[in-house]
Amino acid sequence: MNEFLRNFVMTTILKMIDNNVAEWQVREYALGWYTKEILTEEDLQTIDEKYKEKEETEQLNTEVNSNEQIEQPLEENIESEEE
């Protein structure tokens, strides 16, 4: 029974992360289940890794968007010079 509940809680937490629920709320929720001995330290580590992956992805997207914004004005200038 505990394994079913553990999987259910972990699935819920991972969906919370994907749906952009505030990090402090997700961690508070997870710690509540950890103190009830439903989640393990490994589960908390999995949650932490998920946040690290999300941060890296967001950082990469920000860098790509910044590069696109830098390149756009250059393209517009080239088109203006050709006319």
CB 13 within 8 A of CB 29: yes
Question: pTM of the entire structure?
Answer: 0.70
Higher-confidence residue of 46 and 78: namely: 46
Please provide the average confidence, as pLDDT, over all residues in the chain.
Answer: 85
* Burial call 1-22: b when 16+ CB within 10 Å, e when fewer: eeeeebeebbeebeebeeeeee
> How confident is the model over 67-80, as pLDDT tens digits?
666 555 555 655 65
| CA 33 – CA 9 distance, rounded (Å) | 8
The per-residue pLDDT for 44 is: 97
Higher-confidence residue of 13 and 71: namely: 13
CA angle 39, 42, 10 (to 5 degrees): 45
| CA 58 – CA 56 distance, rounded (Å) | 5
